Chain A
């Protein structure tokens, strides 16, 4: 299934929470939805989950629209909100059973759906425990299980890794990869960008309700960071090294960071080779020379301003 978000707009009073947002996700893809707090991620997610209604624009699931047929959209979506279920008076089994029934599953279908979800999320031992007694990681698994109970082709996860310990995060990541393997389209919003880089096939960066960048992770990394950072250290004076670096072709800026000099360069590997050549020819005693890896976090910091509405 293809989820096609077209020119989505939503305002709360004078504040534009979502401003002309358009993107699409294919089946089997995990799409990261990145942005600072108040960027409009949760509002977009809530519109997708039919909890809010857009002011204009539309969302299409293959060929039907969320505005035209919100009921069909609900059947196509599994939504995992940022808050975890914590009812004191309901067990994991009853929770899953209720949502199975809410999606129209009955009898053998319901039983099989619950057992499949329980097995997939590893909740077999927890079935008779009340939700309030579970750890955050287990609650998150229950939440994912609930969203999967009707086997939706699209999954929306709002900050699913927030507050989870490293082990629970790894487990969640594995769970998401497995879901993508089942050909589900997954949209996940998260602040933990390093994790997104590892599992996401595409990224949408949003700030103040507007999309700043979108594409595959490699595309974003390429587009977002025009300058690459070159880390150089030698046995001589760092100030001399900095001075020599600034005179090299393609070097835009250079700064001293401890015992090394970090130069910002414009261009690719050929410029990097030229710089190394020039430094050696000028007699600089180089012992380390490498281009720093750019990750999603760098791109995010570079293109967002951290502004909230």
Chain B
């Protein structure tokens, strides 16, 4: 292969590459912090390995050689990898993204015609590449641990894979936080305080379990352990892909123009992901695992739907002309796509729909396992109704009291505070009145936390229904208006005013012209 061939191949590859990723690569190669971290990691890996080798040699000479030396070194190196990748990679990619998104100083790539998903994809790939770079530094040392004995290759590979996926997911989560329109410092603090320790602790636990349990199958629990490893891996990958996709679509939606239907990609993707996860669980069930697996999976998804319902209250109800044009004219089609459009009510309908489906699945699974259908349905029903009730009341609080000071995005925070107050209320009553009776009657204050929830299930159900009814009464009119406003555009938008354009005397010469420039619109696109 000649030099020119290699060069043209290189250019072809660059042309195929995501521009954001290419820019990040170029910046990465000059970044002093990245270089410092890489050298620091390399030094730490070398030092740790050196200490272990010296100890191993010492033990060998004294005749007390341990078969666990490799495992110990592997664990130490994995911990260092976690420290480096779970803190540095998400913070590096996240903070850069946050700075670029800073209000008033947005990076100019947001004024270019690059689609928002390309930006998020580029950033995610940068995180993956940086993680890979740090992992590649550790790989020779990790391979060396095999020679010291005590390391099972399959487990080691699985641990490395899990760590890699975790680091990239962590970076995706930080990217999502950095896309939220609020103060950059607050975003960084929240990212550091909430996301990183969660992933950090989870993966330390996971790596310890994987390494010390003697096998990956045991780590995943009994339902799967006897039926082969492949289904577990596929199931885990489906979960990871779903989570990664959710984070990706949410980040993309947050940086997309407000005039677009930001909710469509998130809700479509999550609907498909939920179906795939449930299908995978059913396949596992067919292979002989317990009915509990279905109930657990559906419960996790239900928790996600509850969060989605609360988050829906942050959506704005005004739809741009651009979005209105895409609303179908056919009433049945319109009803079908209603939950996939941006808007508070649309989001609530979508979340409620999923909640109902998942509740039915959980109830069916538990009933088949011998549980009482009424009890399960009541608990699930009260949870759903409480979530809906709190959200509706919070929407009212925002709409009537805080709308002048805060945008709709504050509503989930109000819901969170509201739930917290409702949880604390019985305890506060008990504290100030000196009686414990209030704690026993937590249900009377719409509190979702009760030491005898099942014992008071009918009271909780009644309370949750009352809360929902109050919410519906308080928000009835705007809700109906919002539903009625979901119709296709009736009139065409006013066109531009006719302006007499001065005819240029001669055709001006444009030295910037390049033939067939796709970036420049050739003519007015059809509206």
Contact B519 A117 (CB under 8 A): no
CB-based contact A106/B258 at 8 Å: no
Are the CB atoms of A72 and B525 closer together than 8 Å? yes
Does the CB pair B113–A71 fall under 8 Å?
yes
Taking a contact as CB atoms closer than 8 A, the residue among A2, A65, A77, A99 that contacts B493 in the complex is A65
The CB with the most chain A CB atoms within 10 A, among B15, B493, B495, B514, is that of B514
B19/A64 in contact, CB under 8 A = no
Give the segment of B154-162, B198-206, B288-296, B497-505 that binds chain A: B497-505
Report B-chain residues with C-beta under 8 Å of the C-beta of A107.
11, 15
Q: Which of B89-122 contact A (CB under 8 A)?
A: 105-106, 108-114
The listed residue (B11, B495, B516) touching A63 by CB distance below 8 A is B495
Binary interface encoding of chain A residues 158-176 relative to chain B, with 1 for a CB under 8 A from any of its CBs, else 0: 0000000000000000000
Interface residue? A146 (CB, 8 A): yes
Give A contacts to B, CB under 8 Å: 2, 4, 6, 13-14, 24, 26-29, 49-51, 53, 58, 60, 62-65, 67-72, 74-77, 79, 81, 83, 85, 87-90, 94, 98-99, 101-107, 109-110, 112-113, 116-117, 119-120, 130, 146, 148, 150-153, 181-183
Q: Judge whether B113 and A74 touch: CB under 8 Å.
A: yes
Alpha-carbon separation in the docked complex, A70 to B504 (Å): 28
Q: A26-B501, A151-B513, A183-B508 are in contact. Are A14 and B404 (CB under 8 A)?
A: yes
Taking residues whose C-beta sits less than 8 angstroms from the other chain, chain B's interface range is 35 or more
Question: Are A153 and B520 closer than 8 Å at their CB atoms?
Answer: yes
A27 touches B504 (CB 8 A): yes
- Quick check: is B4 within 8 A (CB to CB) of the other chain? no
Give the contacts of B242-288 with A (CB-CB under 8 A): 257-259
B462-520 residues with Cβ-Cβ distance < 8 A to A are: 493-497, 499, 501-502, 504, 507-520
Give the residues in chain B near A90, CB-CB below 8 Å: 23, 26-27, 30
Q: Is the CB of A83 within 8 A of B27?
A: no
Please list 5 pairs of residues, one from A and one from B, whose beta carbons are closer than 8 Å in the complex, sorted by A's number.
A74-B113, A75-B113, A89-B26, A113-B512, A119-B511
Chain A residues whose CB sits within 8 angstroms of the CB of B519 once the complex forms: 75, 103-105, 150-152
Cβ-defined contact, A101 with B22, below 8 A: yes
Q: Is the CB of A74 within 8 A of B112?
A: yes
5 additional A-B residue pairs with CB within 8 Å, beyond A67-B321, A151-B513: A6-B496, A65-B496, A74-B111, A74-B113, A98-B22
Q: Once the chains bind, are A146 and B510 in contact (CB under 8 Å)?
A: no
Partner of B114, one of A81, A102, A106, A116: A102
Q: A75-B519, A102-B113, A112-B514 are in contact. Are A67 and B259 (CB under 8 A)?
A: yes
Q: What's the Cα separation between A98 and B320 when bound, in Å?
A: 31
Within 8 A of A (CB), among B13-45: 15, 19, 22-23, 26-27, 30-31
B510 contacts A53, C-beta separation under 8 Å: no
Give the residues in chain B near A29, CB-CB below 8 Å: 502
B108 contact from A28, A81, A104, A182, Cβ within 8 A: A81
Q: Which residues of chain B come closer than 8 Å to A146, judged between CB atoms?
A: 108
Chain B residue with minimal CB distance to A119? Answer: B511
User: Could you mark each residue 303-324 of chain B with 1 if its beta carbon is under 8 Å from any beta carbon of chain A, else 0?
Assistant: 0000000000000000011100
Q: Are B512 and A116 in contact (CB under 8 A)?
A: yes
Q: Which residue of B lies closest to A178 (CB)?
A: B511
